[in-house]
Amino acid sequence: MTASENRDTTGTVSVVTGANSGIGRAIAVHLASIGHVVYGTVRSLDKATKLNAMADEAGVEVKLAVLDVADDDSVREGLGQILDEAGRVDVLVNNAGVGGNGVVEEAPIDLYADVMNVNVYGAIRCLKAVLPGMRERRHGAIVNITSVTGRFASQVQAPYVASKWAFEGLSEELAHELSPFGIRVAIIEPGITKSAIFAKNPATDHHSDYAPHTRRMLRFYAVGLRDATDPLDVAKIVEHAVTTDTPRLRYGVSWGGPEILSGRQALSDEDWVALGGIADDNEFYKGFRDAFGVDLTETA
C-alpha cells in the first residue's frame, strides 16, 4: 500500500466503538493521527485513561462519547450527541466486542445472548443511527471488526464463534444493500492481536470428554499470544480500507489470520470435520499445521 493509492481524508468524522482498549484504542488514535476527527466511544469516562494517555503521547485528540453498544437508549443518546456536535458521521468502526468461551452443548444460553447482544446487536444499533445520514449524502464507510473465527470455527468458543459468523453474514448483506448509495463496507478479520479481550474472557467448565478441545484451543492462543500482532497493524488496515481506490470487502490481518482464512477456504468440509476427530494431540497439531500453515507444536 502506497500513499498514492489513498485519498486525503483530513477532516473525516470517524466513530470508533470500544475505543478504550486494544484494537479500538489503536484505531482511534491512528485515525486521529492522519487527520480524522475521531470520536471514541467508552462505557464510562473513567475507562478512558489509557486512551487519553495514548492520544496525548501521539499528540492528537480523540473526543470521548459515553456509549454502551448493548443498550438501545445509550446508543441513541451517544450517537445523537455526536451527530449534533459533528453534523455527520463519515466512518463508523464497529469494534466493540466481548469474548465467550464454551462448547456448543454446555455454554449457557444466557452467555450466547450476552455475546450476541454486544457483538452483533450492538453493531446494528450503531448502524441504525448513522446509516440514514450516510444514505442521504450518498457517502460513508462502515468498518466491521469481526475475527478470523468469523470464518473458522475455533474450538471451545461457541458463543463467540456464533456471534462473529453472524456478524460476517450481516456485513456481507450490508455491503450488498449499501452498494447503490456509495457507502463502503469493509470487514476486518484479525487473528491474534494484543488485546485485553483475552484476559477478560473467562474459562468455562465442561465435561471431561471435551478436555482435548480445550487443550488445543489453549495451545492455539498460547502460541499466538507469544507473537501477537501489534493492534496498530489492524489500525493501518482500517485506514487503507476506508481510503483506498481499490477497496475489498474482506481483509485478513494479524497473527494466523491470513493463513487460517486461506487454509480454511482450501480445506474441504469433510477434511475439517475429520481434523476435529483426531484423538492424539500431536497428530492434531501436525494436521493443523498442514492445513493452515500454523505450527502449534512449540509454546516456548
Please state the rounded mean pLDDT for residues 30-52: 96
- Look up the domain containing 251 and give its range: 3-206+229-255
Asked whether the predicted pLDDT for residue 10 surpasses 90, the reply is: no
Residues 6 or more apart whose Cβ sits within 8 Å of residue 269: none
Asked whether the predicted pLDDT for residue 300 surpasses 70, the reply is: no
Cell for 10? 483530513
Q: Is residue 167 domain-resident?
A: yes
In CATH, what number is assigned to the domain containing residue 88? Answer: 3.40.50.720
Quick one: pLDDT band at residue 273, thresholds 50, 70, 90?
very high
Asked whether the predicted pLDDT for residue 201 surpasses 70, the reply is: no
Number of separate domains in the chain: 1
Question: Cα separations (Å) of 264 from 93, 239, 242, 289?
Answer: 26, 27, 27, 12
Q: Is residue 298 domain-resident?
A: no
**pLDDT value, residue 297:** 83
**pLDDT value, residue 21:** 85
Q: Is residue 224 domain-resident?
A: no
Q: Is residue 164 domain-resident?
A: yes
Choosing from 39, 160, 221, 285, which is the catalytic residue?
160
pLDDT tens sequence across 163-198 = 999 999 999 999 999 999 999 999 999 999 987 654
**pLDDT value, residue 202:** 56
Please tell me the distance from the alpha carbon of residue 167 to that of residue 50, in angstroms, as a whole number: 28
Query: Is 0.85 surpassed by the pTM of this model?
Result: yes
Q: Is residue 220 domain-resident?
A: no
pLDDT tens sequence across 99-154 = 999 999 999 999 999 999 999 999 999 999 999 999 999 999 999 999 999 999 98
Please tell me the distance from the alpha carbon of residue 129 to that of residue 143, in angstroms, as a whole number: 15
Q: Is residue 296 domain-resident?
A: no
- Specify whether 160 is catalytic: yes
Q: Is residue 282 domain-resident?
A: no
Cell for 140? 460513508
Q: Is residue 281 domain-resident?
A: no
